[in-house]
């Protein structure tokens, strides 16, 4: 049994806290929102984010960050990506070098173009930051439905330790040293999922969805490998796997927001209706910033940015994609003479 803090009591944080408690670990959940902690203590259920999931009675809840972190071997950082830096800054005072931080949020910081693990390392100097990601909707993990994810760590021993910590009969965990590739796949797929949702909102069909997924993973891998991620990672669970589930499922807040945008709403209106942080909106500008930095073309992600921030009608953006210059699908494959 390990002592674990889950920092962030949204749907993903609570789903992972439930998983870890069911695995026999001692888990404390922290949130800065007092009403949220009060609800969890009284209801043993997150009635807003994970309705119907009765939580393990062993879970403890607090708004005291110091109390949450003290004496814990593992700190699961599950706040939405826009709050990663501010939360890490608050954690710094109470962090000790023997603790492992597991970031489970997905995003790229717009202002710095840093991955979230890099943001945490910048705020907590010398911290040991790992990541957990993959095709894993909180709604299904909370209900105990079979799920497979990847843990990324710099050291193999840390990866194996976390693999054993999270692994269960319904939660299969692989390991990888490619933290950068895992994080880039996790963040960029949210932008492509917005595109898939927009296509659904426009009333387009399966052909369109398949095109966006396959060409979307090409864009993600193109940028990710230019930045130093491994191509194999983008072919795996945190690349194409996470992209498929996020583009196809109504559990996906990015797809749901995209549908509303495709129906004519602004991204602000869509996020207000979804009532959750839509990570793809925050990663979209960052993705374009990275594309410019590394000289990479990202046609789908570029059009998503035009829709979100330039007021371009969604149908016009789709036509822009369809009427681009004619291309080879795989330029590296040579023709026979």
**Number of Cβ within a 10 Å radius of residue 121:** 17
Active centre residues (catalytic): 189
pLDDT > 90? residue 325 = no
Q: Are 22 and 56 in contact (CB under 8 A)?
A: yes
Q: What is the mean pLDDT of residues 6-19?
A: 97
Residues 6+ apart with CB under 8 A from 21: 27, 55, 56, 58, 59
Q: Are 48 and 25 in contact (CB under 8 A)?
A: no
Backbone angles phi, psi at 8, to 5 degrees: 125, 120
Q: What is the mean pLDDT of residues 43-57?
A: 94
For 78-105, letters b (16+ CB in 10 Å) and e give: bbbbeebbebbebbeebbeeebbbbbbb
pLDDT > 80? residue 288 = yes
Residue 278's alpha-carbon distances to 7, 20, 307, 321, in angstroms, are 19, 25, 15, 23
Q: In this predicted structure, what is the pLDDT of residue 279? A: 85
Choose the weakest-confidence range: 46-55, 200-209, 324-333.
324-333
For 279-295, letters b (16+ CB in 10 Å) and e give: bbbbbbbbbbebbeeee
pLDDT > 80? residue 337 = no
Sequence-separated contacts (24+) of 204-211 with Cβ below 8 Å: 204/318, 209/247, 209/248
What are the pLDDT digits (tens) for 111-130? 999 999 999 999 999 999 99
What are the pLDDT digits (tens) for 124-167? 999 999 999 999 999 999 999 999 999 999 999 999 999 999 99
What are the pLDDT digits (tens) for 240-256? 999 999 999 888 899 99
Q: pLDDT exceeding 90 applies to what percent of the chain? A: 89
Q: Are 260 and 199 in contact (CB under 8 A)?
A: no
Overall pTM > 0.85 = yes
Q: In this predicted structure, what is the pLDDT of residue 327? A: 87
Q: How far apart are CA 107 and CA 222, in angstroms?
A: 18
Helix (H, G, I), strand (E, B) or coil at 234: helix
Q: How far apart are CA 163 and CA 151, in angstroms?
A: 7
Find how far residue 112's CA is from the centre of its chain.
Answer: 18
Kindly report, as residue ranges, where domains of CATH 3.40.50.720 are found in the chain: 3-177
Instruction: Give the H or E element holding residue 209.
Output: helix 206-226
The fold for domain 180-322 equals 1.10.1040
- State the SS3 of 89-141: HHHHHHCCCCCEEEECCCCECCCCCCEHHHHHHHHCCCCEEEEEECCCCHHHH
- Taking the alpha carbons of 89, 92, 95, 100 in that order, is the dihedral positive or negative? positive
CA-closest candidate to residue 194, choices 283, 106, 133, 113? 283
Q: In this predicted structure, what is the pLDDT of residue 250? A: 85
Q: Are 243 and 192 in contact (CB under 8 A)?
A: yes
Residue 186's pLDDT band (boundaries 50, 70, 90)? very high
Q: What is the CATH superfamily name and number for domain 3-177?
A: NAD(P)-binding Rossmann-like Domain (3.40.50.720)
Kindly report, as residue ranges, where domains of CATH 1.10.1040.10 are found in the chain: 180-322
Q: In this predicted structure, what is the pLDDT of residue 207? A: 95
Tokens describing residue 229: 């991620």
The CA-based angle 179-182-187, given to 5 degrees, is 125
Find how far residue 231's CA is from the centre of its chain.
Answer: 19
Sequence-separated contacts (24+) of 42-49 with Cβ below 8 Å: 46/9, 46/11, 46/14, 48/275, 49/10, 49/11, 49/14, 49/138, 49/276
């Amino acid at each position: 049994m390990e002592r674990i803090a889950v920092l962030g009591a949204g749907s993903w944080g609570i789903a992972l806290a439930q998983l870890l408690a069911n695995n026999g670990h001692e888990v404390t959940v922290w949130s800065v929102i007092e009403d949220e902690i009060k609800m969890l203590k009284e209801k043993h259920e997150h009635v807003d984010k994970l309705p119907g999931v009765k939580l393990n009675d062993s879970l403890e809840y607090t708004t005291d960050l110091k109390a949450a972190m003290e004496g814990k071997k593992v700190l699961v950082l599950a706040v939405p990506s826009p709050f990663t830096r501010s939360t890490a800054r608050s954690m710094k005072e109470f962090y000790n070098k023997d603790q492992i931080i597991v970031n489970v949020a997905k995003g790229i910081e717009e202002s710095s173009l840093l991955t979230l693990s890099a943001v945490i390392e910048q705020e907590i100097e010398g911290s040991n930051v790992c990541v957990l990601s993959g095709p894993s909707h909180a709604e299904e993990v909370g209900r105990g439905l079979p799920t497979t994810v990847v843990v990324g760590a710099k050291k193999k021993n840390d990866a194996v330790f976390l693999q054993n910590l999270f692994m269960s009969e319904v939660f299969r965990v692989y390991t990888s040293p490619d933290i950068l590739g895992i994080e880039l796949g996790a963040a960029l797929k949210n932008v492509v999922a917005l595109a898939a949702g927009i296509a659904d909102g426009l009333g387009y069909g399966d052909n369109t969805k398949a095109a966006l997924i396959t060409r979307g993973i090409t864009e993600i891998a193109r940028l990710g490998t230019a930045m130093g991620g491994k191509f194999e990672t983008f072919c795996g669970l945190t690349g194409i796997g996470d992209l498929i589930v996020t583009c196809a499922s109504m559990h996906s807040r990015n797809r749901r927001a995209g549908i509303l945008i495709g129906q004519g709403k602004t991204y602000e209106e869509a996020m207000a209706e979804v009532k959750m942080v839509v990570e793809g909106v925050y990663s979209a500008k960052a993705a374009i910033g990275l594309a410019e930095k590394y000289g990479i073309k990202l046609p789908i992600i570029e059009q998503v940015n035009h829709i979100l921030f330039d007021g371009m009608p969604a149908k016009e953006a789709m036509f822009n994609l369809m009427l681009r210059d004619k291309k080879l699908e795989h330029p590296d494959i040579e023709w026979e003479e």
